[in-house]
Structure 1
Amino acid sequence: MEDGPLKKKLQSCSEMEMKPTAWSISHRGGGTLQFPEETYENIMAGTRMGAGIQECDVVFTKDLALVCRHAQCDLHTTTNVLAVPALAAKCTTPFTPYNKTSGAAATAKCCTSDFTLPELNTLCSKMDGFNPNATTVKEYIDGTPGYRTDLYAKGCSKILELREYIEIVDKLGLKFTPELKTPEVPMPFQNTAYTQEVYAQHMIDVFKTAGIAPERVYPQSFLYADVLYWLKHEPKFAKQAVLLDESADFGPMEDSVANLTMYAKDGVKIVAPPLPYLVELDKKTGEIVPSAYAKRAKELGMDIITWSLERSGWLADGSKGGYYYESIGEGIKSEGDVFRLLHVLAQQVGVIGVFSDWSSTVTYYANCFGLVF
């Protein structure tokens, strides 16, 4: 970091006793830089790093069990399913190798809805990634990004059921943020009674069956209809429902800012856009400052959560942080700029939590600045 008050303050906290905080929210477990995501091992790593809220991305299986996966159709990049011929044959799209003649990338698509829960229980999780130039399954699976590591992925981390995740996090005394992932198959599923609404209710019912108090749960979804459903049918859980908002990825930011008025009117209390929606560079000073989106959300009295820190790889490798820093990319100079961003999010935007793939960074900042709750 460049010398200055922020660096001095952060250095002064180096010997502090760090405590868990709900301001530090695990992304896919919170230890995702080094551990397979959505696994017991990842949850424990994120917890050791102080994440006070643990995430489970919720998807359904062929036999309608709920499990933790970041996407319904990511098994080909997050597990060894392609290396198990009997199961690989059931994937939505079988493995197709890289075509040297056409230059077409290697592909595959394996979904939780392709398999029953007992079948998924035989799989081993791995670090998320794939090799688009692979000519064999082994090469395809071996695609972990260089800024992560396979060091702690040598064993066989199992896929967690939603109920198992609840048991683990409950015993740890932490809070929960389950995300109802948008289905990648037509709903109702296989022309049954399993509609989107049933799916949304199913997730909440698992928490109710486990006896989890609503105030410990932050249910999330990118689908506005899911949040509206919870507001109508599960008002106690909906008090902390989180609307994940990536609408400006598909349309003008001005429209996303305007939509906040509707969200607030409909009763949404917490909105969660990605990091670049909330900040921009001051045209005169070049400093990181709150965006129009951030200002409008606060004007409407909405709380803000954001995602996802430590997901961009290196900041000073010429990429300027990639997607998660695109609104401030021209101001990114060093790895320490992650703390400049956090400082603005905390002190000027006023976010109530930050998702991270490496929870210790957010935890350290939160403890240093008294954001422990």
Structure 2
Amino acid sequence: MEVVKRILASLARPYCIDDQELYLTASIGISLSQEDTQQAQMLLQQADMAMYKAKQQGRNAYEWYTHAFTDTVSERMVLRNDLQEAIEREEFELYYQPLLNRFGQLASVEALIRWHHPTKGWISPARFIPLAETTGQIMPISEWVLNRACLDMQSLIHQGSEPVRVAVNLSPLQFHRANFLATLRQTLLATGLAPELLSLELTEGVLMNNTQAAIDTLQALRDMRIGVSIDDFGTGFSSLSYLKDLPISTVKIDRSFIHEITHSRDDMAIVQGIISMAHHLGLNVVAEGVETEEQHRRLMDYQCDIFQGFGLAKPMPLNALKVFVASLAATHETTE
């Protein structure tokens, strides 16, 4: 145990690179040789299972292999292998959820990944995205989503639809990667999508790490005319003094505050406060998880700018989105 603790302590010390302090964490899995597990490959597999268990405990920790969690971790390993095959075969599909402005017009769409396994059917992103983030598979998945979303929006234009702005969720690994901006420029160039038709969504936690570098990247995105939103706002660590320094365009209020907005005075106050603060900073506000007309009316009263949720429009494949866009445009033409 002392060896493991020394390794963790050694990695916990800050590393200074280009005047920036960087911190590393480690997840360590341990397996001991038993009479029935003499093969080195088996020991490595067991240590690998224990390592994933350590990651589940919050990382920067170690875990012994035991038979108690073999089934759970084995299931994750099977899913990881299936996920790798899905990446190579491009088994994913993008669905698009419309966001509507105060006049009921289409403001943008959010790209949401879907995975239809050839034998297991639909697998929820809540299952495979966290796994992909721990294995590093999130990088090729994120790059595929970005490229596919840009191609899809460009194809709508080629089919005669009005240009639609698309929002894509960025993973922390993707945002902090050294070649992120170069890759993004190359994607826009290859797909032909105008930068102003792309918006990127980040969580508060992503922006709290390596703050100055994050601000520099955000400024570069603004210079490229790409929008940036803070997703799930209110659940992270942002403070007012921190938020005002970020070159972003939008905050998205987390659905947990919207769910009880018509019943909870606390949630009402939080939502009103976020909207007021964001408007003072010149930011647009999106309410996530709008499911009822009553919630929509209350948010309208609070001067929320944009609305997203199953009560307004569900995520849909590209062909259905094309019909939705045309139908919405025709409706507004008739009422004008």
Larger Rg, first or second structure (1 or 2): 2
Which one has the bigger strand percentage?
A: 2
Q: TM-score, normalised by structure 2?
A: 0.45
